[in-house]
Structure 1
């Protein structure tokens, strides 16, 4: 869309945002036609273009956003409503920001929801007019790249309207994220370009931006700017005390010990009262990416703990202070403390007053869409890297040649950009992400090789692209055509002639940059405005993995090895919003990564749903924190936070509403036979006991099996070697202890589902008289060579979501689906349902799932090597009404490394070596 049409659309959205009620199809078109008569648009917008704008606005107004869940402390007392009625809360800063959101084209429903959610947060902060000492601690849990910065910018505006005089935003641990966050605060709260304000030439200082374009009666003061972090000397030059300002003061600082030290010293020198040694003005502290470096994990470098202590020290300087942590990955947060049940509650940053879950708008491009609903559309597997760029490599690894999959991804990005331009998105930005190494030296070599590829394509296009069909004789253009044919031939506005005609325009603009902590690093500058947006390929590592937004991210190439939930989710820069080009987005990654993202999405979905249930139950943040710390998936987070200790880790786990599977088994022939025997004994006993073995479309179902038969099977089956340590989540002692606590009540009767593959080319194997077709599952060949069978592949699951429907009635299945729709109003009817909903329906019995698995060890030129069939199981646990009931296991560092690999665990806790 041209700049003129974009301007018309923005004005129409702003006009309708000021009107009461939701717009109709008629009112949208009437508004557009009215604006078309203005001099700036008169005669320049035809009927077809006006209709296109109208349809786009209709789509935007169809976007919905839920209000999320709130878990409060018992002593919560609202104050905001009365303060507004009494005229103590203004609307200057929020009013400007609301108009900016409308100008940016956000649907009125989303703006209204943001208004409501930020009111909820503000109401849970301290009343700045209350002069008695107080401190508030809270947390907001959102989704990666879903608009958390926009949310806390709105909160900052409302806090300023309410009377907060000092606002501190602690951004990421890298300069580029701090600078980007400062720019967002400049636009949404300050209204002036702070980089220009810091310019030596006074004539060039003033540049009104963002909210400043709507109202210039007042501007907050910023003691930081887009060029520099907090500096004591600069702050002292501006004023001697916070209290001397009659407007709000804001700082956007890096999460860095030196910066925090400087700020603490400056406040002590200039703003504390001599008597109390405290600051009297109310302070709001926003901790962005609160799970990163803010956690008190005193096990490795002192830096992590020092930051935690400095944040707490900063808060303690104020008589009245609020701490709000924003994160999308709370599994790695202060909720998690495996040492004792109540240790986290003693930490001063624990969100003891409130926890709020943010719902993502319905147009959010998240893990559900990418890895479940439309995996085949968006995901491409990397399987050609090990020879040239192995997953694990050293700092001096050469990059003489690129994996063909990476070259293909670059070509896809060039084509996607050409299609976006054809769709009228020339003025929008377009980015590609390449995250394939944690080493900056390797990233530099990658950038150079990718630059060579782009130059080669550019040269070919400049010479031959104008030759019509004859251009396909050029091998580079022919390769682009092959990628177009495979990826985008059926996309809207993407015929090859159109794409070919726009290739040169794309290649002239594209830049390949390195984004890391090296001297070669270049800024991702998306501030350019004009007829053409930025087209950039960004090569980096950890700097691209937390908080940093890549505008218009269209293609990603992700080759990193991690099983840590927070690290993986934060590396998912491809999540977010992709208006009018979602269909063009592609993500290249290894098959294991796809499975982990799908699995993590389920865990995060569980967390948000649990938050909503706890809101209904009027649970407190402490109770929610304990629930999260007992989540079965806490183990992976524990590895991240505690690996450096080298000490045994006791972890308490609750298994309610969980699925446990044998994704890792010993490959010893003797143990394989013993496990098959354990399955045969169970099934033969059911047959001999006259249990009804009901044939199903995908196997056999036995209902109401007594728990003692299940217990015997779990006692005899071994997933791990005979000698400890064992895999915690398949530890028979852990599971049997949990079951035993409920064996007389809710786990007294089980359903048993024996799954059989529908694969027709394989002959059935008989187990206890039942004909079963094995399931093919990919396994890690390196682990298999060491005698361990580790399920890998695209799903990284032994079974499937359908398994957990077995044993349920049609009414129960319908109830589970309806609960999913209510929790996920943005989900489409065909969305894959999180199987946890099958575990929570009333009357759900626990389910044991058995299946034969045929390990796929390797495939070379169509020839597949399989291992010996093994018996695998899954346990689907329903909700539990039994209080407590958690079980404890202990695992040491050596075993954790065996389970999760020799990854950069300590580096991931602190950041890449950039």
Structure 2
């Protein structure tokens, strides 16, 4: 009934276990050997917060599954466990591991360490969450000397205060050896759990290691006997061993391994929404000198997001027109690439419009009775803190102008529209929010004054100007804040009530982009008001990344059914054809040339980047027309379809000849990695006598009315209009951009399948994605994995288009593009080895922004 009332549900996710997994939790509960004091309190808190029963039950089940895979704290023999929990950005991972902490404490774990990111603001925020959900007291108050102030009961403390955990950190200060020593001499002397929430910082970890060695390590081995749970939040950030040689270890990675090795019984659980870097950890680095690395060798658990999760599927696919606004006016004012001394004298009009949208959206929320809730805007437009400071000043100027106008004219009814600033707010309301519930203009105008009185513009970064995002100060009216920052806004930090986002960054690393997506999360009662301003290329990247993440979760579910191990799952992810860009280059091992094993199994490869060299384009056209002539010579039928022509049963030799002739680039211009003909032809050659012997060829023709048909061989085809990157276009390189980097659509990959095969693929998708809406686009990977699927070559003509300086659309010459849809493979290994070096990576994907940010001038 709860689910029916709220329409919110949550699945249990998938689990990949090591072969030696032996459950213990069920029997321990039945035998009465562990209690539920801490979890019982936390469950009551979740219920008090209004979470649907289905979501609380799912959290209960998932945290049981994680705990069952940790070591049994009643087992006194030495043991060590390594695992990873894969969630979604801003989907409730903190709530999940808070529940795990509660259950681990009930089971008998006596030291719990939470490592919460690399910035103070994130550590403080996480400490506050642990205070509320596990400790039950405000640790910031406990830090005061005045005893009258030291007993502020919060959160779970209201449901039972007999067993308060001991916290050696608080919301004000990170771990400190002297403070810890004054509180306790040995962990084992306490009958309640000891918890620390620390920053992922080498000095902090050094202090903790020294303190444990001095006060809790015993015996000849100088190890700690109490069981320890280490939770690594944002586990892909700074925890990974990025040293290039196998016998070198980065400092934080080595300290985490040293910390785990100090305990006879220890568990490591990494929580992340972007696990790609973790999968690149070498599972064999477990010699005595390096201890055991953090590869999740014992379990990997995927968390399903609740059905009300506001994620990439909803923002960039299902409701893109509602939520996404394109930034296309920044290059002359705030170019994507700029230096630390770049001036910010004016703001792009798109940013000013986004600020106005935030003011109007907050007014609508207040009109809906949400004035007590928080509302935030995010502006992430530069990696340099100095530039962020200038941006903050200019944005504050905009807010001040609006505030002054509303103070003078806001109460004048319709006459207020004579004010240019109020008229501009009205124009934004008219174009963005007229259909929103409770959003008529008089109601909005009546709320503008209270919004602007409360509104603050703050910097959130590593500079001295930075201000904390203190959402406790809002009181009955909530906080209204515009946060300007960079990397500090990009990992783990939650912006409460995030409504409007302005994102102008160009990292092409999957994990960086996903973590920067602070707009993902839950937006109860105001989801319809949320907007994301982003460059067109970014929209395509996020849609593409969503598919990669969706594929990862699907792989987890499939490998769970196949009873695969984490090592096998790691190999599958590492051989994903786009693994080379999923994470920062320095998280992937050696900086010299190295072999990557790339699998094309169940993958789609498309030509999204082609050099528009006249001779090259003629050669490619000739290759395509020659293929069609060969098919005619072979006596194969061209079946007319609603969206083109289909040819069945094409010999692999014809496909190989086409790929051998087709070229995406001259020798001196780097092409996309996946369209490298050697890689593809090697993969095909290994299967040419078996599963890739016969192909289907689909010659696609656009169903749009934008262009007239053109001759291609003996066929007439309508070209597909596709936006291309104007910067590359000026250099004679056609890079597909716009709102999708894909040349074709998911329906293309249905071609060649029978009705029964299509039904089987769609049923599998519904089974794996029960939360998907009935009309959701089927992930095309399901068409590739269906039984009996033949490989598919898709040909189409693409007419590139860009806007000139006057905003008019300019078309280039038609080019031939192709896509290859590969089915499942039963051939052992299923990979092709590919050599990539640092220079090649930089040519293909640009500079690594994360590394630049670590140099000191950046946030």
TM-score band, normalised by shorter chain: over 0.9
**Structure 1 CA distance, aligned partners of 2:852 and 2:54?**
42
**Structure 2 CA distance, aligned partners of 1:269 and 1:359?**
42
SS in 2 for 1:602: helix
Contact 1:299 1:642 in 2 (8 A): no
Deviates further, 401-410 or 659-668: 659-668
**Structure 2 CA distance, aligned partners of 1:526 and 1:504?**
21
Pairing 1:495-644 to 2, within 5 Å after superposition: 495-528=440-473, 530-637=475-582, 640-641=585-586
1:46 alignment counterpart: none
Unaligned runs of 5+ in 1: 1-21, 24-56
SS in 2 for 1:276: coil
Question: What is the Cα deviation at residue 815 of structure 1?
Answer: 2.2
CA-to-aligned-CA distance 1:794-814 (integer Å, 9 cap, x gap): 101111112112112233222
Question: What is the Cα deviation at residue 643 of structure 1?
Answer: 8.2
Deviates further, 690-699 or 570-579: 690-699
**Structure 1 CA distance, aligned partners of 2:219 and 2:371?**
58
Contact 1:725 1:891 in 2 (8 A): no
The partner residue of 2:57 within 100, 107, 112 is 112
CA-to-aligned-CA distance 1:493-527 (integer Å, 9 cap, x gap): 11111111111111111111100010110110112
The partner residue of 1:893 within 808, 818, 838 is 838
Contact 2:327 2:535 in 1 (8 A): yes
**Structure 2 CA distance, aligned partners of 1:386 and 1:190?**
49
* Counterparts in 2 of 1:341 and 1:889: CA distance versus 1, 3 Å: farther
Give the TM-score of the pair, scaled to structure 2: 0.97
**Structure 2 CA distance, aligned partners of 1:886 and 1:912?**
41
2:386 alignment counterpart: 441
The partner residue of 1:713 within 655, 658, 668 is 658
* Counterparts in 2 of 1:452 and 1:853: CA distance versus 1, 3 Å: same
Note if 1:311 corresponds to 2:256: yes
Pairing 1:168-179 to 2, within 5 Å after superposition: 168-179=113-124
Contact 1:765 1:774 in 2 (8 A): yes
1:98 alignment counterpart: 43
Question: What is the Cα deviation at residue 907 of structure 1?
Answer: 2.8
Pairing 1:209-228 to 2, within 5 Å after superposition: 209-228=154-173
SS in 2 for 1:127: coil
Deviates further, 715-724 or 449-458: 715-724
The partner residue of 1:430 within 360, 364, 375 is 375
**Structure 1 CA distance, aligned partners of 2:144 and 2:69?**
39
Contact 1:289 1:547 in 2 (8 A): yes
The partner residue of 1:815 within 732, 750, 760 is 760
2:133 alignment counterpart: 188
Question: What is the Cα deviation at residue 885 of structure 1?
Answer: 2.1
Question: What is the Cα deviation at residue 264 of structure 1?
Answer: 0.3
2:33 alignment counterpart: 88
2:81 alignment counterpart: 136
2:232 alignment counterpart: 287
CA-to-aligned-CA distance 1:744-791 (integer Å, 9 cap, x gap): 222111111111123324222211111112212222233233343221
**Structure 2 CA distance, aligned partners of 1:829 and 1:561?**
34
Deviates further, 151-160 or 199-208: 199-208
CA-to-aligned-CA distance 1:434-484 (integer Å, 9 cap, x gap): 000000000011111110101100111111111111111111111111100
**Structure 1 CA distance, aligned partners of 2:812 and 2:84?**
48
Question: What is the Cα deviation at residue 723 of structure 1?
Answer: 5.7
Contact 2:374 2:479 in 1 (8 A): yes
Pairing 1:219-618 to 2, within 5 Å after superposition: 219-299=164-244, 305-333=250-278, 335-336=279-280, 348-528=293-473, 530-618=475-563
The partner residue of 2:678 within 711, 714, 733 is 733
Question: What is the Cα deviation at residue 528 of structure 1?
Answer: 3.5
Pairing 1:874-913 to 2, within 5 Å after superposition: 874-907=819-852, 913=858
Pairing 1:735-884 to 2, within 5 Å after superposition: 735-884=680-829
SS in 1 for 2:556: helix
Question: What is the Cα deviation at residue 201 of structure 1?
Answer: 1.9
**Structure 1 CA distance, aligned partners of 2:255 and 2:268?**
13
The number of aligned residues is 855
2:594 alignment counterpart: 649
* Counterparts in 2 of 1:341 and 1:173: CA distance versus 1, 3 Å: closer
**Structure 2 CA distance, aligned partners of 1:532 and 1:601?**
36
**Structure 2 CA distance, aligned partners of 1:658 and 1:437?**
34
**Structure 1 CA distance, aligned partners of 2:53 and 2:463?**
43
**Structure 1 CA distance, aligned partners of 2:764 and 2:446?**
49
**Structure 1 CA distance, aligned partners of 2:408 and 2:648?**
71
Contact 1:293 1:910 in 2 (8 A): no
Deviates further, 357-366 or 716-725: 716-725
2:636 alignment counterpart: 691
Deviates further, 260-269 or 704-713: 704-713
* Counterparts in 2 of 1:813 and 1:869: CA distance versus 1, 3 Å: same
**Structure 2 CA distance, aligned partners of 1:663 and 1:767?**
20
Unaligned runs of 5+ in 2: none
CA-to-aligned-CA distance 1:367-417 (integer Å, 9 cap, x gap): 100111000010000000001010000001111000000000011111111
SS in 2 for 1:152: helix
**Structure 2 CA distance, aligned partners of 1:808 and 1:344?**
47
Contact 1:336 1:638 in 2 (8 A): no
* Counterparts in 2 of 1:424 and 1:883: CA distance versus 1, 3 Å: same
* Counterparts in 2 of 1:787 and 1:537: CA distance versus 1, 3 Å: same
**Structure 1 CA distance, aligned partners of 2:713 and 2:504?**
44
SS in 2 for 1:466: coil
* Counterparts in 2 of 1:554 and 1:235: CA distance versus 1, 3 Å: same
**Structure 1 CA distance, aligned partners of 2:244 and 2:853?**
14
**Structure 2 CA distance, aligned partners of 1:420 and 1:638?**
37
1:667 alignment counterpart: 612
Query: Alpha carbon RMSD of aligned pairs, Å?
Result: 1.9
Contact 2:585 2:848 in 1 (8 A): no
Deviates further, 873-882 or 540-549: 873-882
Contact 1:742 1:748 in 2 (8 A): yes
SS in 2 for 1:600: helix
* Counterparts in 2 of 1:562 and 1:174: CA distance versus 1, 3 Å: same
Question: What is the Cα deviation at residue 867 of structure 1?
Answer: 2.3
SS in 2 for 1:528: helix
Contact 1:665 1:789 in 2 (8 A): yes
**Structure 2 CA distance, aligned partners of 1:639 and 1:349?**
18
Contact 1:491 1:583 in 2 (8 A): yes
1:17 alignment counterpart: none
* Counterparts in 2 of 1:746 and 1:650: CA distance versus 1, 3 Å: same
1:67 alignment counterpart: 12
Segments ≥4 residues shifted beyond 4 Å: 340-347, 642-646, 723-726, 908-912
Contact 1:287 1:324 in 2 (8 A): yes
Contact 2:671 2:844 in 1 (8 A): no
Question: What is the Cα deviation at residue 637 of structure 1?
Answer: 3.0
**Structure 2 CA distance, aligned partners of 1:130 and 1:380?**
56
CA-to-aligned-CA distance 1:149-206 (integer Å, 9 cap, x gap): 0000000000000000000001100000000000000000000000000012222111
CA-to-aligned-CA distance 1:76-119 (integer Å, 9 cap, x gap): 11111111111111110000000000000100011001000000
**Structure 2 CA distance, aligned partners of 1:535 and 1:84?**
46
Contact 1:720 1:727 in 2 (8 A): no
